[in-house]
Amino acid sequence: MSPRNASALRARFEWLRPRPLGTSTSAGLGDRLGLATPGHVRAVRAVGGAIAPIFPQQSIREMARTQRTPTEVMDDATWGMFAEGWRDGTGADADHLKTTEDIDATLPVGFSMFTIDPSAHVDSAADTDDLATLRAKVAALPWAELEDSEASLRQRYVGRSFAVEHLKVAFDEAVVLRAAAKYGKAVSHVAKMSRHLLKAAGSRPVELEVSVDETDTPTTPAEHYWVANELRRLGVKWVSLAPRFVGRFEKGVDYIGDLGELETDIAAQAAIARHFGPYKLSLHSGSDKFSVYPIAARLAKGLVHLKTAGTSYLEALRTIAALDPAFFRSIYAFARERYDTDKAT
């Protein structure tokens, strides 16, 4: 089970080579330990082809923390698929990439989907800034990188409303400036990352996901509209987008919040995704959100990507606790020692 042999298998058998999945209903089944792919294969088979799988999926920060390389992530999934006789294809998600160096580290390995995480460039303080502060922040945006000007931005949005299916998305000055101040630098960063990816990939087909979910407050329909419209203006193409929904999506537990409020939110976000795409809504930290899955699938009309990594890890801990309690206690003690540092991400 060497890297050379895994690479040879992918070269010989096309079903082991990751490929773009397009707008198929899909699930990314991240495996932090490199052991879970056989179980993931069996789970996907159990739903009879209703979900297109992504077996190799791990974020750059998780690779750093678990001391795995992109090649190891890819190879572990390859061996798991090969052992289970999986021949129905897979995507491969290089998750939460923040820099062009992250793209350069994962593209040569064969990843087919690239999730861009511009959270470092999102200004969450804009949610509560007064109008004067918003005006100052928008004036300071990198307008050359955005290929735009503040005057042009105002002309496109201020005082206008846009019909999107059942929605009326209205922009007054405060709404426009808040969206631009919050997400303007993030839009510029995503465009830069997308152009780097396409240039590096050349003729090889790849797909992009945009993640704006790792923010302190929800992504409003107006903000989703603004981000999608501005990315499209800059020529960016993407297959899925992860907004920050209302309520809380915590790993390993069901949705925390009002399901009626979430249903209204998903209906609005899905309408915008169909308007500008269609592209998929991506549910991050999606493990065990059993109350959410049917709502999202129905309202997005199947244009959904589920992203989960924590479940397999938690099931591994459950197994260790049953079979080797002393080992589990040592893991628990180590995790508590690391908590203050690791909770930052």
Cα distance between residue 74 and residue 200, in whole Å: 19
Q: Please state, in angstroms and as integers, the Cα–Cα distance from residue 186 to each residue in 52, 170, 246, 307, 316, following that order.
A: 29, 22, 20, 21, 36
Quick one: which of 190, 194, 196 has its CA closest to 211? Answer: 190
Q: Is 163 exposed, middle or buried (0-12, 13-18, 19+ CB in 10 A)?
A: exposed
Q: Report yes or no: 95 and 60 within 8 Å, Cβ to Cβ.
A: yes
Helices (H) and strands (E) in the chain, counts: 14, 10
Instruction: Please report how many Cα atoms fall inside a 13 Å half-sphere around the Cα of residue 196, on the Cβ side.
Output: 19
Which residue out of 31, 129, 209, 223 is catalytically annotated? 209
Check if the beta carbon of residue 194 is closer than 8 Å to that of residue 114.
no
Distances (CA, A) of 239 to 21, 212, 222, 277, 278: 9, 14, 20, 8, 8
Task: Identify any residues that bridge with 171 across adjacent strands, giving them in sequence order.
Answer: 160
**Which residue intervals of 13-89 are DSSP H helices?**
37-46, 60-66, 70-84
| 95 tagged catalytic | yes
Instruction: Judge whether 54 and 36 are in contact, CB under 8 Å.
Output: no
Catalytic one of 62, 75, 95, 230: 95
- Report how far residue 79's alpha carbon sits from residue 234's, in angstroms, rounded to the nearest whole number: 40
In the chain, the N- to C-terminal Cα span, in Å, equals: 32
Q: Is 325 helix (H, G, I), strand (E, B) or coil?
A: helix
- The catalytic residue positions are 95, 209
